[in-house]
Structure 1
Amino acid sequence: MRMLVVDAFTARPFAGNPAGVCLLQDAADAGWMQRVAAEMKHSETAYVRPLPDPDADFELRWFTPLVEVALCGHATLASAHALYDTGTVDAGAPIRFRTRESGVLTVTRAADGSLSMDFPAVPAARVDPPEGLAGALGAAPLWTGRNDQNDLLVEVADEASVRGLAADTAALGEIDARGVIVTAAAAEPGGGYDFVSRFFGARVLLGDGEDPVTGSAHCALAPFWAARLGRAAVTGYQASERGGYVRAELRGDRVVLTGTAVTVLDGTLRI
């Protein structure tokens, strides 16, 4: 079966966030999908299967090397890019993905090749910082919230603090959260992005637990920064080693995330 590797939220190879995309024709066993994701070792591997469904075109599931997840932005972007790039879907047609826990997600392609994804907003409600959070991050939280994805959203002092974080992965793994989103306002407003962020998912990701560019995190970041900045449309830069830009527009209880993607590998999975 056909397998692609796509760098998402970037316009150039070897940046953004890589995802495996497996184009299935028939339903697959979840255990097999988990083993393939562990073999691929990307933060997420997506599985796309056509559906005979009037309300959706494809089934979409996402697996980290360790677990299946309920929502993944960069692997959704990668999956849509793969379907357009391989000619499976006409460039002007929207793609409707049916997911197990996040409903139907629609992706549209603009004339410039950028892809926009209609996702649920998952705003964070303010909570007290969990014990050990500041020490695990190496930075003092100014504001801490938790959302329905069980992500912690943590605002710190400034952009330099976000970029300079040297998080303790083991300590973060002891905190009750799917992931920890750390953010701050851009140091130079008008410089191409409004805020920066980093995402640490020690419980679901391998290695140092940092995800390069996290679409689902922007479902929390968008409502947070839209309220702070007083406008619905914002742009984030995820300041990981690879880095990537995510444009986000808050529309009621939905967030439209926009970015670009690049195919870096197109081959055959021989199992």
Structure 2
Amino acid sequence: MIPYFHVDAFAQRPFAGNPAGVCPLPAWLPAAQMQQIAAENNLAETAFIVPRTGAEYDIRWFTPAVEIDLCGHATLASAHVLFTHLDFAGEQVVFHSQSGPLHVSREADGRLTLDFPSRPPQEMATHPTGLTDALHATPLRVLAARDLLVTFNTEAEVLALKPDYARIAALEYVGVIATAPGTDGVDFVSRFFAPRVGVPEDPVTGSAHSTLIPFWAEKLGKTELRARQISPRGGDLWCRLRGDRVDISGYAVTYAKGEISVGKEAEAVGSADTGGVQ
């Protein structure tokens, strides 16, 4: 049996934020087995964590379709599981990942803060072919990092987007971030579409804020920012730019915990599969 936790990240109550699966393991299962578990869970991401020593763990993330190189909400959820359910003693945990070491700190008010790489976007001289048709809208600006970043004048325009997911998936980027200025104390809003990796619209996307934070920090001339992802579930994020790193803070709540049964042969697999962790 594999322990399993279902956590709503970037939320202060169930049924909000972004749900993530978290599976603590003594050693890696085969990648194909972890992919099957993620597909069965059918959440945007399932995180698998394996202890190193002390306050350090290895972490890998799988969508229902593929393994990915960086995921914010499932990292937040993994830290929440350690702090809340697995008697983790410290105030900071380090996850080793494809994107390098990722620190998560527990704040006095209960928020968790991700220390993530900054991925500033670069302006594109021409829009990718098919982007306007994919969005059914024409953005003000188009920039690119790992994901495409498209900007609009107002929150209402971002809310009104009805993207063609097949055409979004045909673009050669992990996902498309749509963003605009926020209102009522929120500096910026966003939505994130990633059908290419099996996530049509992600409820709240920590990794997208690795790109959003440096973009809006430069545009607004400040390094402390409030953000809201305006998906149907929605989520709130507290953000800070620190040179080539970003801080992304939010709350998390446990929705369910239990066990996954995958058969004794899979449970017995040792650490032969170490792919994806550096």
Q: Name the TM-score class by shorter chain.
A: over 0.9
In the alignment, which residue of structure 1 is the partner of 2:170? 174
Residue 69 of structure 2 corresponds to residue 76 of structure 1 = no
- The answer to whether the aligner puts 1:200 opposite 2:193 as a matched pair is yes
| Mapped partners of 2:25, 2:17: distance in 1 | 25
Task: Look up the SS of the partner of 2:108 in the other structure.
Answer: coil
- Superimposed CA distance per residue, residues 14-35 of structure 1 (whole angstroms, 9 cap, x where no aligned partner): 1000000001112221111000
The answer to which structure, 1 or 2, has the higher relative contact order (CA under 8 A, 6+ apart) is 2
1:134 to 132, 135, 147: 132
Q: Greater shift after overlay, 41-50 or 126-135?
A: 126-135
- Output one character per residue of 1:141-180: Cα deviation in whole Å (capped at 9) or x when no partner: 1111111x2x000001211000111111111111111100
Q: What are structure 2's unaligned runs of at least 5 residues?
A: 263-278
**Aligned counterparts, 1:1-271, within 5 A:** 1-52=2-53, 57-90=56-89, 92-99=90-97, 101-127=98-124, 128-147=126-145, 149=146, 151-186=147-182, 188=183, 191-206=184-199, 209-271=200-262
In the alignment, the residues of structure 2 paired with residue 166 and residue 71 of structure 1 have an alpha-carbon distance, to the nearest angstrom, of 26
SS in 1 for 2:196: coil
Shift of 1:135: 1.6
Give the TM-score, by structure 1 length.
0.93
Alignment partners' CA distance in 2, 1:65 and 1:87? 26
Moved over 3 A (4+): none
Code of the residue aligned with 2:118 in structure 1: it is A
Taking structure 2 as the reference length, what is the TM-score of the superposition? 0.91
Query: Any idea what SS the aligned residue of 1:21 has?
Result: strand
1:168-223 deviation per Cα after TM superposition (whole angstroms, max 9, x unaligned): 1111111111100000011x3xx1311110000010024xx100000000000000
Instruction: Give how far 1:129 is off.
Output: 1.3
How large is the Cα RMSD of the aligned pairs? Answer: 1.1
What letter matches 1:107 in structure 2?
V
Whole-Å separation in 2 of the counterparts to 1:68 and 1:141: 30
- Tell me which amino acid in the other structure corresponds to 1:78: A
Following superposition, the deviation at residue 105 of structure 1 comes to 0.4
The code of the aligned residue for 1:203 comes to R
Size of the aligned set, in residue pairs, is 260
Which residues of structure 1 form unaligned runs of 5+? Answer: none
What secondary structure sits across from 2:186 in the alignment? coil
CA distance in 1, matches of 2:31, 2:67: 9
Aligned residue for 1:203, secondary structure, equals helix
User: Equivalents in 2 of 1:132, 1:97: separation in Å?
Assistant: 37
2:66 partner letter: V
CA distance in 2, matches of 1:166, 1:244: 20
Q: Give the whole-Å Cα distance in 2 for the aligned partners of 1:88 and 1:134.
A: 49
